[in-house]
Amino acid sequence: MTAVDFKAEVAKRRDAMMADLFSLLEINSERDDSKADKDHPFGPGPVKALEKFLEIAERDGYETKNVDNYAGHFTFGQGEEELGIFAHMDVVPAGSGWNTDPYKPEIIDGKLYARGSSDDKGPTMACYYGLKIIKELGLPVSKRVRFVVGTDEESGWGDMDYYFAHVGLPEPDFGFSPDAEFPIINGEKGNITEYLHFGSSNGGSYHLVSFKGGLRENMVPESATAVFTADTDLASLQDALTHFVSEYPVTGSVREENGQFIVQITGKSAHGASPQSGINGATYLARFLNDFDFAGAAKEYIHLAATYVFEDHTGEKLGVAHTDAKMGRLSMNAGVWSFDQDAKDNTIALNFRYPQGTDAARIQSQLATLPGVVSVSLSEHEHTPHYVPMEDELVSTLLAVYEKHTGLKGSEQIIGGGTFGRLLKRGVAYGAMFPGYTDTMHQANEFADVEDLYRAAAIYAEAIYELIK
């Protein structure tokens, strides 16, 4: 059989691939629990994106299955073993600070701007076209492929829990997720969110009405807002805020409405797996408020945030820091903040990406000793550390294809981010971002390099074929 030029095959399909990708990016597939119901478990947006993806697959002749709008798949090939490919159609909230409409994709200077362009609709479509090439060329295969797309990867992975419980099929034997970077991600840290619980008492000459910040636990909060009453005047607060923002890398505003002061601090969003890449607006807001005369649970909430959480991305001040020789250091993102004077329970959600050698219970035990913390609870979903050895044929095959296409030496990588690659015991993440890429995932002005998506499609085509031929 003549060797296939996968790059040339991608080139023939560039326009079609981009058109299909645009049709997915135009769908706002943020999770919206306020509109969730039996037919829309995470809101209407994720369902629309799932239906569009399956519509594309049906157009191309695949047999598809929609598992109650939680997730869906199509299948290809035949054989005793099955390769699973796991991607997702949901996206994190767009947030603010965009120069373009996040749901009107635009290519500017070779970069495709849209929410989901790099996480994960762009890589998903690159991988889809990789398999589409194999199908359209009629290349002989000896294994099955199941291409699965979920709708809740950015939140609690409830899509995959439901999918595996209701799809009526055994798990694939091995697989990968096109939701990270090349050369490969064969190890992922554990992932758990722990909630610090506080009371709501107040006191002092400053009275905290509310403190809100953050959109998702796996996003660095770009901004946060506090509402309070105080025995002071607007001019004095403005002077204090002006001095504060001159010393720190944030912006801020203060105004007075109906006898209450409203202060907002704005930093920079980033992926929760890389909290050091962002500027946590909530911790800086707490830092600003900490100098004022709050008391009670309100003071404890502010003080802990301003001293123990502020600029602590590795859990050192919290007393939970841990480093493993292979997996590296624990990281912590304070993602969602909620304090209300009328609430019985106020919380700070801390998302931990932890290496082997520690665990959620150990972290919880230490957090419970922090001053002002009433209790510590855990999120329902926890992912323990995951690793597939370099010697595994899956890893060695994927690295060999990457090396052939790029001329670069492949090596293993372990990350704090969580991908669907860890759904399988023999599962990894593979692409679609290349070394040296600008990471804009979970940030304003998210983009994917268009040529990189085409390069990735060729790599996916050959990699899939090598795994199933």
Give the model confidence (pLDDT) of 117-138 as tens digits: 999 999 999 999 999 999 999 9
CB-CB neighbours of 67 under 10 Å: 19
Q: Examine the pLDDT at 176 and tell me if it is beyond 80.
A: yes
The pLDDT of residue 421 is 95
Tokens coding 20:
């299909």
With pLDDT > 90 as the criterion, what percentage of the chain qualifies? 95
Q: Is 34 exposed, middle or buried (0-12, 13-18, 19+ CB in 10 A)?
A: exposed
Closest CA to 70 of 102, 101, 43: 43
Question: Where is 49: in which H helix or E strand?
Answer: helix 44-59
The pLDDT of residue 355 is 95
Closest CA to 327 of 386, 370, 285, 379: 386
Question: Rounded to whole angstroms, how far apart are CA atoms 166 and 79?
Answer: 23
- Residue 459: strand, helix, or coil: helix
Mean pLDDT of 447-451: 98
The pLDDT of residue 327 is 92
Q: Examine the pLDDT at 418 and tell me if it is beyond 90.
A: no
Question: Rounded to whole angstroms, how far apart are CA atoms 135 and 65?
Answer: 18
Tokens coding 413:
């990588």
Q: Examine the pLDDT at 81 and tell me if it is beyond 80.
A: yes
Closest CA to 212 of 113, 119, 368, 339: 339
With pLDDT > 70 as the criterion, what percentage of the chain qualifies? 100
Give the model confidence (pLDDT) of 368-397 as tens digits: 999 999 999 999 888 899 999 999 999 999
Given 9, 20, 90, 449, the catalytic residue: 90
Mean pLDDT of 12-35: 98
Dihedral of alpha carbons 445, 446, 451, 452, sign: positive
Mean pLDDT of 284-295: 98
Do residues 163 and 108 make contact, with C-beta atoms less than 8 angstroms apart? no
The pLDDT of residue 381 is 83
**What are the backbone dihedrals phi and psi of residue 212, each rounded to the nearest 5 degrees, phi first?**
-130, 140
The pLDDT of residue 2 is 57
- Residue 331: strand, helix, or coil: strand
Give the model confidence (pLDDT) of 310-348 as tens digits: 999 999 999 999 999 999 999 999 999 999 999 999 999
| Greater model confidence, 195 or 155 | 195
Question: Rounded to whole angstroms, how far apart are CA atoms 357 and 325?
Answer: 10
pLDDT band (50, 70, 90) for residue 416: confident
Chain-centre distance of CA 133, in angstroms?
Answer: 29
The pLDDT of residue 380 is 85
Report CA Rg, the chain: 24
Torsion of CA 14, 17, 18, 23, to 10 degrees: 160
Do residues 263 and 252 make contact, with C-beta atoms less than 8 angstroms apart? yes
Task: State yes or no: is 90 an active-site residue.
Answer: yes
pLDDT band (50, 70, 90) for residue 417: confident
Alpha carbon distances (Å) from 27 to 53, 104, 110: 11, 9, 22
Alpha carbon distances (Å) from 264 to 22, 98, 238, 285, 442: 35, 19, 12, 7, 21
Cis peptide before 120 (omega within 30 of 0): yes
pLDDT band (50, 70, 90) for residue 363: very high
Given 30, 153, 181, 462, the catalytic residue: 153
What are the beta bridge partners of residue 66? 72
Query: Could you tell me which residues come within 8 angstroms of residue 432 by beta carbon, excluding any fewer than 6 positions away?
Result: 118, 122, 123, 126, 127, 178, 181, 182, 448, 452, 453, 456, 460
